[in-house]
Structure 1
Amino acid sequence: MGKVHPLLLSRRDAVPWAYAAAGTAAIVTYLVTSSPARYMLAALVSASVVPAIAVGVTRNKPSSALPWYMFAAAMAPYAAADVIWGLYQVRGDEVPFPGVADMLFLGSYLLLTAGLVTLARQQAGRLHWAGLLDAGIVTLGFAILSWAFIIGPYLRSELSAWPLAVSIAYPATDLMLLSLAARLMLTIGTPTPSFLLCVGWLVILLAADGLYYGTQATTGTAIAEDLSEVGWMLSSLLLGSAALHSSVAQPALPAKNQERLPRRRMSILIALILMGPLIVLANVGGIRGQPVNVTVIVGMMAGLSLLLVLRVAFLAQYAQGRAIALAASLREQTDLQKQLTHQATHDPLTGLANRALLHERLESVLGRCSANSSAGLVMLDLDGFKDVNDTLGHPAGDELLVDVAQRLTGRVRDQDLVARLGGDEFALLVEGVDARTLHDYTTRLLDAFTDPFILAHGYSVHVTTSIGTRSVTKPTTPTEALRDADTALYRAKTAGKNQAAFFESPHQV
């Protein structure tokens, strides 16, 4: 279980506190008095649960009252059995076994089981096999204890068939309650105060039953009977308080990632699995001399081992799923990083490199240029682009820029860098070309604008370009190269457009 809602005292919760105080007073009275009449206090406390649940459901209006009504229906025969048992104690008579009280007790446990099944379906949400396996391991682990200390001794006793069946029915119904309690505790992530009170009711009820029937089975008489009686009274008190608490209307949130196996839970499960071997090794009750009991315990141990293997398999599957999810998340993060990097270094309209990436590549290339390893920088500016924007609109102008980018990239090598500097201005960085080859590049780029551009809606647009070129044959800074190419571009435009100008003529390089 995870976080817990705070148990804050409010006016609305004054009723459950008053109820708890009255019940505590009854328990204290039971402990400090020695009159046989004190046994009727147990009947009074268990009987009070029925109206407490009725009042709690009416006041708090839980989303589903069905499990609480089933608990109330279960506590009615439970209280009746307490009355019968108490009356025998008051009169000093021996309580018949098995008798009507036993039938009422067992019937109430079956109704409590039905109520817990309904509550588990509502509170725990959809079925989680990992949580069910954990609950199965807990139940089977305690079943080994129940067999060793209660059921086994009863089977070795001289009880006849009917008393023996009733004696074994008590721990059997307790195991059913334990299984449901374990499922609830292991599958709820954020318990409410009402839910915690329910857990306390079940834990104390099962502990009191275990103490009473365990000592009765092994010694023939119930040792610390008053302690068990106080436990039963306290458990009834907690159930009534759970119904009266205002948080009964709040659903307990199911635990997330129930496939996880926290270290503390793993330690508990391993301790339960080791319970059987320890009982056999310690020869509890001379069990090693009882082949039937040893066989049963070994069988339960095998079942526990199987459940643990399945649980580990679920854990491995969960870990694999988490690993796959993590890998997918890392891939997504890497893709996003690449996308962000691309957006930071590329023009969003044309997909070409932007000014930042061009400057970065210029620094890398121009710094190692020489007569034997020259490079070229070409700058282009469209002629007549403003007329396209003014007559056809900016969307048509954007479409034209995209088409220009495609034509430029189609006229150069893969290793050449084509960039859009902004507006209708483009640049080209080529490596390993001399001045003559750079002149051929420039001619090829001018030819790229010979054919008109066909835009949407069938518009045919003819634009030309002016080109300024700078050949680099020695280490040069990007700023210098861009300045020189821009100077050449200005010369080309002033010379009449649709032509190229070189900052340096080929025979000067």
Structure 2
Amino acid sequence: MDGREGRLVIPAPPLWTVAVVGAAVLVVHLIWPAGPTGDATYLGALIGASVLAWLMVAGGGPGDRRAWAMVAVGLSLSATADLVWYVDYWLTGVEPDISLADPLWLVSYVALGIGLMRLTPKRDGARGVDVDAIIDSLVPAVLVLVALWELAIADLISDEASSPLARTVWATYPILDVVVLTLAVRLAIHHHRTRSRALTLFGLGVAAWLAADVGYLLATAEGLFRWLDAGWMVASVLLAAAIVAHRRDGGPALGEDVAGAHRGRMWLVMVPLLVPPVIEVRGFLDGTDANPVALGAATVALVVLASIRGHRLLRAAERARATLQVGEAHFRALPPTPPTPSWCSTPRGASSSRRATSSA
């Protein structure tokens, strides 16, 4: 009981207990993925993770509680959407293409994105937009969007067997995945030297979530769906565990940036320029032509981002050189230091010894 606020505060459990319980539920689900056991373990993992997340958020903690509250909102909306989908399936016996669960799933992405944005601080506490971080995060977003367009989105949009509403909803999910990926990369760039279990678990949870989403678009074998369900279960547990770690460890401690990070950012922008040609060569070798419009647009976008990033890096180098030159000029303008008297450089106690010798 918190005496100051008069409310019950649940202590944060050790992370190993979260891992053990989550792993046990996951193993049971993988052994019996279908039927009442599979449904119960899947929904139990998602609902249990959202409940744990809210208990940890309600208990307070350092940093921006609203950021972690939005993560809890995203988990709750996703778990509620899965429950709604299962209820529809249980009542009708047919897996729905779209249902009342889809708006909840879509809004869960929005909540998770808001949490990601709130967890990302402004550079050096300054106001305004961190253009460099946005550019660095847009590059992988463009690549993933092109890959998803070639692998799934184009086929979803052109599928005449489904209604236009269903195709629109299905195509929205991978686009939202790209948005979440962009925000996650932006968060990773800001905290690339952070020693924080919370942010590490959070990043792993987002990665598992996106991997399951993309896998669902590409999966064709029936046996793969148990692993996709496992991916969403792991993602939910990891996101809840991130909030637990935040409660136990406190806020992240940021490290200082280094020159190697800037070189890495430059490579992050330049190397992806090779991806569109690689996709074109792969299509030529396989006898399938990739969409030239998508590849052309991606190439233009990557060139523009690389040009802007390179220009900004050159400007930063020029500013650093100018600052160094000004400092050197000020140093040279200082008056020369007068020579040090010989008695000041005499070892301590030596002068008194000489006086003592002369007196003798």
TM-score (norm 2): 0.80
Of 323, 339, 345, the residue aligned with 1:344 is 339
The structure whose Rg is larger is 1
Question: In 1, Cα distance between the equivalents of 2:237 and 2:72?
Answer: 13
In structure 1, the residue matched to 2:5 is none
In structure 1, the residue matched to 2:355 is none
State the Cα distance separating 1:275 from its structure 2 match: 2.0
In structure 2, the residue matched to 1:178 is 181
In structure 1, the residue matched to 2:142 is 140
In structure 1, the residue matched to 2:251 is 250
In structure 1, the residue matched to 2:16 is 17
State the Cα distance separating 1:42 from its structure 2 match: 1.9
Q: Which residue type is aligned with residue 178 of structure 2? A: L
Q: Which residue type is aligned with residue 27 of structure 1? A: L
Q: Report the 3-state secondary structure (helix = DSSP H, G, I; strand = E; otherwise coil) of the residue aligned with 1:253.
A: coil
Contact 1:142 / 1:272 at 8 angstroms: preserved in 2?
Answer: no
Map 1:300-449 → 2, pairs under 5 A: 300-335=298-333, 339-340=336-337, 343-344=338-339
Q: Report the 3-state secondary structure (helix = DSSP H, G, I; strand = E; otherwise coil) of the residue aligned with 1:190.
A: coil
Question: In 2, Cα distance between the equivalents of 1:297 and 1:148?
Answer: 9
In structure 1, the residue matched to 2:3 is none
State the Cα distance separating 1:164 from its structure 2 match: 0.7
Contact 1:192 / 1:247 at 8 angstroms: preserved in 2?
Answer: no
Question: In 2, Cα distance between the equivalents of 1:19 and 1:72?
Answer: 16
Question: In 1, Cα distance between the equivalents of 2:34 and 2:294?
Answer: 44
Question: In 1, Cα distance between the equivalents of 2:153 and 2:22?
Answer: 33
Question: In 1, Cα distance between the equivalents of 2:89 and 2:16?
Answer: 31
Question: In 2, Cα distance between the equivalents of 1:275 and 1:35?
Answer: 40
Question: In 2, Cα distance between the equivalents of 1:302 and 1:88?
Answer: 45
Q: Report the 3-state secondary structure (helix = DSSP H, G, I; strand = E; otherwise coil) of the residue aligned with 1:97.
A: coil
Contact 1:23 / 1:237 at 8 angstroms: preserved in 2?
Answer: yes
In structure 1, the residue matched to 2:30 is 31
In structure 1, the residue matched to 2:169 is 166
Change (3 A) 1:89 1:227: farther
Contact 1:60 / 1:248 at 8 angstroms: preserved in 2?
Answer: no
More strand by share: 1
Q: Which residue type is aligned with residue 118 of structure 2? A: T
Contact 2:139 / 2:302 at 8 angstroms: preserved in 1?
Answer: yes
State the Cα distance separating 1:253 from its structure 2 match: 2.4
State the Cα distance separating 1:33 from its structure 2 match: 2.2
State the Cα distance separating 1:191 from its structure 2 match: 4.2
In structure 1, the residue matched to 2:263 is 262
In structure 2, the residue matched to 1:212 is 216
Contact 1:190 / 1:255 at 8 angstroms: preserved in 2?
Answer: no
Unaligned residue ranges in structure 2 (runs of 5+): 1-10, 344-360
Change (3 A) 1:228 1:256: same
Q: Which residue type is aligned with residue 30 of structure 2? A: L
In structure 2, the residue matched to 1:281 is 281
State the Cα distance separating 1:234 from its structure 2 match: 0.7
Q: Report the 3-state secondary structure (helix = DSSP H, G, I; strand = E; otherwise coil) of the residue aligned with 1:282.
A: helix
State the Cα distance separating 1:26 from its structure 2 match: 0.6
In structure 1, the residue matched to 2:6 is none
Q: Report the 3-state secondary structure (helix = DSSP H, G, I; strand = E; otherwise coil) of the residue aligned with 1:274.
A: helix
State the Cα distance separating 1:74 from its structure 2 match: 2.0
In structure 2, the residue matched to 1:461 is none
Farther-moved stretch of structure 1 (234-243 vs 96-105): 96-105
State the Cα distance separating 1:203 from its structure 2 match: 1.2
TM-score (norm 1): 0.58
Q: Which residue type is aligned with residue 216 of structure 2? A: Y
More helix by share: 2
Q: Report the 3-state secondary structure (helix = DSSP H, G, I; strand = E; otherwise coil) of the residue aligned with 1:143.
A: helix
Change (3 A) 1:34 1:212: closer
Change (3 A) 1:270 1:114: same
Equivalent pairs counted in the alignment come to: 326
* Deviations, residues 216-255 of structure 1 (Å, cap 9, x unaligned): xxx5x67721221111111101111111113563145276
Identity across the alignment (%):
23
